[in-house]
Amino acid sequence: MNDSHYCPHTPEEIREMLSVIGVASVEELFSAIPAGLRAKTFNLPPGLSEFETLDTMKAIAADNSACLTSFVGGGYYDHLIPAAVDHLSGRAEFYTAYTPYQPECSQGTLQALFEYQTAICRLTGMDVSNASLYDGGTACAEAVMMALRVTGRNRVIVDGCLNPFSRQVLKTYLYNLDVEVVEIAPLDGTLNRAELAGLLDQSVAAVLVQNPNFFGCIEDFSVLAQQVHAVDALLIASVYPISLGLLVTPGEMGVDITVGDGQSLGNPLSFGGPSFGFIAAKKAYIRNMPGRIIGETVDKQGRRGFVLTLQAREQHIKRHKATSNICSNQGLCALRGLIFLSSIGRQGLVELARLNRDKAEYAKAQLAGIPGVTVLQSAATFNEFTIFLPKAADGVVMELLKKGIMAGVPLGQYYQGSENCLVLTVTEKRSKKEIDRLVRELEVALCN
């Protein structure tokens, strides 16, 4: 061993430990790891006390002076989180992400999840909700699995405007199943309804759409719901929950199953997670929902109580009768969503949604003034929209990143022929000053 490497054991102790596990050297211990993946050195510094570690971490954090301004969306959004969300969700009685198996001993957790289900139903305009899922992508897949069980069919039509990550998760779920997935290419950033109409028949189990879609476009699916129901199929809609402060709810449009990602409801970005997925449906399909559903009841003394009413996952019932193998309901993240919605209230959600829309409209107007930039206007938008640039979007994004601006999601990697298209997101956190700086720096980047 090199004396410059800190090691708490002597060479003799190390050899003794290696002999116990049957290897002759440290090199042999790590021989299973390809040489190109091995660390070149384990030159670790001496151990530190708790207080010394905290001081070191603070010093490192102080060096992180570069502050990135985010205009990135695509499913995860930079929203403000009320202080009450962190405070209440951090209380000891709530600070668990798992499901109670003894409901009679877990009334607080069950009530919180019951209230969460209620909030999701009110938000989406649907009849029933479960106690949450992993994320928005798996929620889409679970909704499709529901539709396959309900209809007994094996064909699914997916709008190409659905988030590409959700489409990939769906393909992974269905990979080894006898299910045909038909994707419809977008038409000017919206659903190609004429092509869809030609595909609808009695073999279709479900049609999966998104509102607002990946391009940011808003669509009314009321007529589509009627067309889908005419062939006895189900309509599934993935939605952005904050947008429902202004938009018509899925329930009002006749959607059968509604899903989405709950990250924007009081959960931080946190490098991509954790988050939670929500799913809500018409009451007729309640027994085909994944996971579990919390119900309200009374005890022998007539006192209000809560129970796991439906437990349709394979850990609870016979595998062949289970609706899903979802193992965790992301309870803590779902609780944060409930606290978020409760703290801002119905009118607060409306005001929050309006603020997102208004700031995005301001950004669209300013960006449209840049020579060579076109804001796509095929449909109304919420807080995401697509612009066309005179050069490849991925290169422009990298240039703006050097200026501390995350400018959006380039579409070229997801849609062939869209290399010059960029999707930007403007939430309530983006100030006029930040939007104006984006416009200035984008104009400079396009001139270089």
pLDDT tens digit sequence for 31-65: 889 988 887 777 777 888 999 999 999 988 887 65
For residues 7-25, give the mean pLDDT.
Answer: 85
Structure confidence at residue 30 as a pLDDT band (50, 70, 90): confident
Contacts of 438 (CB under 8 A, 6+ apart): 69, 71, 363, 400, 405, 407
pLDDT at 2: 43
Has residue 92 got a pLDDT over 90? no
d(CA 109, CA 115): 10
Length of the chain counted residue by residue: 448
**What's the rounded Cα separation, in Å, for the pair 401 and 341?**
33
With a cut of 90, say whether residue 100 has pLDDT above it.
Answer: no
Identify how many contiguous H helices and E strands the chain contains and give both numbers: 13, 15
Give residue 271's pLDDT. 82
Q: Is residue 13 classed exposed, middle or buried when 0-12, 13-18 and 19+ CB atoms within 10 A define those classes?
A: exposed
CATH topology of domain 83-341: Aspartate Aminotransferase; domain 2 (3.40.640)
pLDDT at 3: 43
Whether residue 6 is predicted with pLDDT greater than 60 in this model: the reply is: no
pTM of the entire structure?
A: 0.85
Q: How confident is the model at residue 346, as a pLDDT?
A: 96
List the domain boundaries for the chain: 11-60, 69-78+346-447, 83-341
* Domain 69-78+346-447 class, CATH top level: alpha beta
Token pair, residue 329, equals 């309901």
Which whole number is the average pLDDT over 20-34?
88
pLDDT in tens, 244-290: 999 999 999 999 999 999 999 999 998 888 899 999 999 999 999 98
Predicted confidence at residue 313, as pLDDT, reads: 60
Compute the distance between CA of residue 430 and CA of residue 364 in angstroms, rounded to an integer: 13
